[in-house]
Structure 1
């Protein structure tokens, strides 16, 4: 059986090919899976998708008509998949429920430190042999407050690093994490966390309940000199509201590894094209904003875990087994 893998990055391709070598043939494509590219999968029983795939009703219908019966998504998030439609079409859907939380937590901290200490601006200056320090002043994070929205495995890893910096910890989640409480984390309401935190980092999944969790009201609750980091999902932040606050000169820094309209942009080379997304174009012009292209997970360790789990999901599907990774079981 040949597996067709969509949206495969150059660094990812050899890992996927090696992992499947002793099990099934795999063909890797750099194009993303959507309703326009879905016909390519005709005749493929199993396809593997990336986080930026568009697996809405029409895409799923095209895949099902072409004979696809299983979708193995190479990510934890699955908000891009219409699970009800997949079930209606008799398609099995699986994801990677767990991979290295350190990859994302460490990158979130890289963003926080970069915007706090103006690293990007400093690097650009020194390339031009401008060695002034004007405008590069940051703040000690030791002794300040870190607010962690979402204290699962990634949020816990982020909190451990914050604890190492000597920061006070505030947390918000539907369930308290005992490991975070052992670090001294105090669980509070969302608004109290936002009002008291000098650094706010988002580590919750994107669901209807968390869509625009950081909306205009939440942003106004935050300190004027706070740092906001999002390495989870773009839809957690109302980007238009964020731009409005940035125009008012608020926030020491904002680090975004995700963007709510990133599909069709992230993972692609758009350097020779006019960017039609006015919100993103405006966002990247602010000197205190750093935007990266959904790369927090992108470490060798995390990718190996993602690929290995994807292989396991395919093998489980063929053997009729079910695991915690299955979102829609085999009919």
Structure 2
């Protein structure tokens, strides 16, 4: 296949740039002979105008790549949309195909990073180490209010058993937990290691801790809603390191208020594109739901931090640049899961 673009003249418009993006991508860009234009703004229908003579855009989880934006990208002569993440629910793939724009992603990068962060949320919520840290710094050595529970022997439900779900199951197994799992495909290797695959309703009814590791799509949006919450055990712990819209925020707030949900740990949030990856410490946040969530003493929010390890960022940079090079020099890329359109 004839190359899409002259690889010697390849320029990439890199949206939603953070300081750490520059560190890791600059480290490897010279090996691929690309020129990156780092843009701090998110990609949307207004910021498309920031693209100058680039032929590739590199985007992240909260960039808007809908049909309108893709039409504007086509007008700008963009040939490749490279996602530096696994999820692609923010991209209109049909529109990309219609405009002959190739789309690629990083299907897997350090699943252990996500799995370990999920466990960190569980342990922090349970043993309240974040509260103990602040308390001791103020010379308060009381243990009142810090009571936790043994993870050993508890039933943990894992929804989604891809690479991250598998990694999380291995960690949970080490704590001596009973593991229930749900996925559209039953993993026989996980079954051999003691994981019990069952339906969602059984997980909702039996699990004391539920951890979400599934993609966001039409079937999984608001997977955790009023109906699902009504089936769960009182004082259930819910962990989400996947996508914010898996949880109906207003429903989970009500469940926290009435005591159905005893603990909530989220690294993602349904409206995070207006908040996460920014320093808003001097601003008045207008999102009432995130403010309400953060007001609960049994809620722990981290700002899309699960991926943030040296190993993960290295894999993201190398895979993203490798995907782009493959699409520039040949019709396909080695990892079929990386090519979306």
Do both share a fold (TM > 0.5)? Answer: yes
Matched with 1:174 is 184
Cα pair 1:152 1:177 within 8 Å, conserved: no
Q: Is 1:16 matched with 2:20?
A: no
Q: Distance in 1 between matches of 2:19 and 2:226?
A: 38
* SS across alignment from 2:261: coil
Cα pair 2:11 2:53 within 8 Å, conserved: no
- Deviation digits for residues 61-109 of structure 1, max 9, x if unmatched? 2222122111101000000011111112221111111111100000000
Matched with 1:292 is 302
- Deviation digits for residues 136-190 of structure 1, max 9, x if unmatched? 1000000111110011111011011110000011011111112321221111110
Cα pair 1:160 1:183 within 8 Å, conserved: no
Q: CA deviation at 1:241?
A: 0.2
* SS across alignment from 1:232: coil
Cα pair 2:86 2:105 within 8 Å, conserved: yes
- Matched residue pairs, number? 328
Q: Distance in 2 between matches of 1:58 and 1:74?
A: 21
- Deviation digits for residues 105-150 of structure 1, max 9, x if unmatched? 0000000111111122222222322221111100000011111001
* SS across alignment from 2:272: coil
Q: Compare the two structures and name the one with the higher helix fraction.
A: 2
Structure 2 unaligned segments of length 5 or more: list them. 1-9
* SS across alignment from 1:252: strand
Q: Is 1:109 matched with 2:119?
A: yes
Q: CA deviation at 1:15?
A: 1.1
Matched with 1:160 is 170
How does 1:1-331 map onto structure 2 within 5 Å? 1-22=10-31, 23-323=33-333, 324=336, 325-328=338-341
Q: CA deviation at 1:223?
A: 1.2
* SS across alignment from 2:103: strand
* SS across alignment from 2:303: coil
Cα pair 1:116 1:252 within 8 Å, conserved: no
Q: CA deviation at 1:252?
A: 2.9
Q: Distance in 2 between matches of 1:172 and 1:150?
A: 6
Q: Distance in 2 between matches of 1:158 and 1:181?
A: 14
Q: Distance in 1 between matches of 2:120 and 2:195?
A: 21
Q: Distance in 2 between matches of 1:27 and 1:269?
A: 22
Give the TM-score, by structure 1 length: 0.96
* SS across alignment from 2:24: helix
Q: Distance in 1 between matches of 2:284 and 2:260?
A: 28
Most deviating of 67-76 and 315-324: 315-324
Q: Distance in 1 between matches of 2:15 and 2:325?
A: 18
- Deviation digits for residues 269-313 of structure 1, max 9, x if unmatched? 111111111111101100000011111011110111111110111
Q: CA deviation at 1:56?
A: 1.4
Structure 1 unaligned segments of length 5 or more: list them. none
